């Protein structure tokens, strides 16, 4: 078992405690990720101390701004190896989480983790956000959407906001370029009936890596035309 004290003490600052079982789940996830990574490209970061800061702590930084307790529905768009969605599910077991990605092989890995950890109220969904955003069982169904390292903010708004209920929240995990991306997103946000309520810029613990959580509130329904067909949001950003 690895040493999770850095993550535990980070969360304790926000009044969040982690049980021994949760620590075991995080460790099994780490072991499965590094093992699977030998044959499937899941992550470039595999060294334990780096994973703790750049994947695990980075995933939970959302607690700075959002109350993640309770039975909220959450979708992680472009979850990859499960960041931030899988870590959030382990730390906040009451969440109902959909791990969404266009790459089936990564979702197969996440299915194995879900089974090994015995997690409930979590599912994977394979597809393109541009298409799934029009499916009635997913469109405007989630309290919270999270997304990290998938696209620039103007593109990401079109991919993610259609999943969020009116009154819900989209949190984009950004690096130090967050502010300029927010400026470039003014048109997309207005078309998609949403607005930035907060930008939270900080450094990850014991690191000079700057992070910027962009918190966006969905104020009204998305027009039916959005998201546009696969590829169009990135080729012609709003």
Shortest distance (Å) from residue 52 CB to ligand SAM = 14
Closer residue to ligand SAM in complex, CB, 92/109 = 109
User: Is residue 135 within the footprint of ligand SAM (CB under 6 A)?
Assistant: no
User: Is residue 97 within the footprint of ligand SAM (CB under 6 A)?
Assistant: no
Shortest distance (Å) from residue 108 CB to ligand SAM = 12
CB atoms within 10 A of CB 204: 15
Tokens of 149: 């390292």
User: Is residue 80 within the footprint of ligand SAM (CB under 6 A)?
Assistant: yes
Name the segment binding ligand SAM (CB under 6 A); options: 11-19, 65-73, 147-155, 184-192.
147-155
**Given candidates 150, 153, 164, 189, which one binds ligand SAM under the rule CB under 6 A?**
150
Which three-class secondary structure state does DSSP give residue 42? coil
| Residue 177, CA distances (Å) to 25, 44, 146, 193 in order | 33, 21, 17, 23
Query: Taking CB under 6 A as the rule, which mask of x and - marks residues 208-237 in contact with ligand SAM?
Result: ------------------------------
Alpha-carbon span 202 to 210, nearest angstrom:
6
Shortest distance (Å) from residue 70 CB to ligand SAM = 23
- Helix and strand totals (H; E) in the chain: 11, 7
Restricting to residues 5-24, which ones interact with ligand SAM according to CB under 6 A?
Answer: none
159 CB-contact burial (10 Å; exposed 0-12 / middle 13-18 / buried 19+): buried
What residue number has its CB nearest to ligand SAM?
A: 80
Contact (Cβ atoms closer than 8 angstroms) between residue 106 and residue 79: yes
Is cis: bond before 182, omega within 30 of 0?
no
Residues that bind ligand SAM (CB under 6 A): 78-81, 83, 101-103, 106, 128-130, 148-150, 159
């Amino acid at each position: 078992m690895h040493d999770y004290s850095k993550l535990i003490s980070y969360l304790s600052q926000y009044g969040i405690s982690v049980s021994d079982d949760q620590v075991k789940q995080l460790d099994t996830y780490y072991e499965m990720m590094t093992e699977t990574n030998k044959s499937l490209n899941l992550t470039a970061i595999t060294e334990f101390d780096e994973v703790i800061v750049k994947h695990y702590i980075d995933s939970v930084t959302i607690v700075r701004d959002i109350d993640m307790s309770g039975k909220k529905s959450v979708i992680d768009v472009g979850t990859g190896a499960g960041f931030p969605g899988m870590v959030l599910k382990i730390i906040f077991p009451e969440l109902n989480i959909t791990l969404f990605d266009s790459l089936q092989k990564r979702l197969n890995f996440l299915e194995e983790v879900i089974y090994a950890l015995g997690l409930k109220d979590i599912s994977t969904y394979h597809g393109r956000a541009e298409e799934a955003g029009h499916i009635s069982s997913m469109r405007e169904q989630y309290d919270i959407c999270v997304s990290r390292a998938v696209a620039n903010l103007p593109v990401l708004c079109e991919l993610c906001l259609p999943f969020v209920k009116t009154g819900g929240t989209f949190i984009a995990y950004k690096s130090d370029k967050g502010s300029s991306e927010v400026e470039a997103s003014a048109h997309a946000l207005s078309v998609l009936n949403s607005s930035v309520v907060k930008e939270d810029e900080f450094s990850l613990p014991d690191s000079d890596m700057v992070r910027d959580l962009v918190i966006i509130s969905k104020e009204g329904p998305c027009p039916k035309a959005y998201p546009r067909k696969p590829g169009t949001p990135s080729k012609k950003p709003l």
